[in-house]
Amino acid sequence: MRTNDLIAITADDDEFFRSALNTILTKQLGFSDVIETGSYDEALEQLAAHTDIALGLFDLKMPGMDSAGSLRTVREHFPGTRVAVVSSSKDRKDVLTGLDAGVHGYVPKDLSIVELSRALRMIMEGWVYVPPSITDISSDEDDPSGIWSERPARSVNEAVASLTPRQRQVLMLLVKGNSNKEIARALKLGEGTIKVHMAALYKNLGVNSRAEAAAIGARFL
């Protein structure tokens, strides 16, 4: 990954945190420039004006941002930009909503500088980053939305370990944000075959969506 000629954009109404991200991106990750914005609409305007933005970091609680689902618009209109949420919220529903919208990562604001740098580097290298807590379910009270209620009794580690080599390949590409068509092309298989492998993944991992499967894969692969 070469970042010394790349541009990032941050969208957060907390000026102090924007400044901190700017320092991390330029000093730790080597970005040449960081465009700072304080609202969702301002970020969209800047993305439209600059076609070479490689990374966009969005807070969830700022003017114009309804939810993590709002970032689906960013992903659809600016496919060349890696998009991540950087938020103080650790709510699993927010994380999964963001992943379902197609974001490339969900980064908690309370990470250390080293951890935050590592998370952003992973995102730029093509991986999807999620906080480790996304797979730590200890009781029904931790899962009020019921999103994870269909999980198998065995541990997540055991579920991932039980996948076939092909299923692991599919999951790895899913974590990297590839569509079924892209996965099929990469593995030289038909899309119908990929759909079969996806169904097996969902069953083995005890999930019901690509976002949930990607969350587990990003944490345990």
Say how far apart CA 150 and CA 5 lie, in whole Å. 45
Domain with CATH 3.40.50.2300 in the chain: 7-135
**Fold that domain 7-135 belongs to in CATH:** Rossmann fold (3.40.50)
Q: List Cα–Cα distances, 43 to 19, 34, 64, 149, 162, in angstroms.
A: 16, 12, 10, 36, 42
pTM greater than 0.75 (yes/no) = no
Quick: pLDDT tens for 119-171. Answer: 999 999 888 888 876 655 443 344 444 444 444 434 777 888 888 888 889 99
150-220 has which fold? Arc Repressor Mutant, subunit A (1.10.10)
Tell me the per-residue pLDDT of 169-201, one tens digit each, with 9 for 90 and over.
999 998 888 888 889 999 988 888 888 888 888
Task: Tell me the pairing of strands 7-11 and 33-37.
Answer: parallel
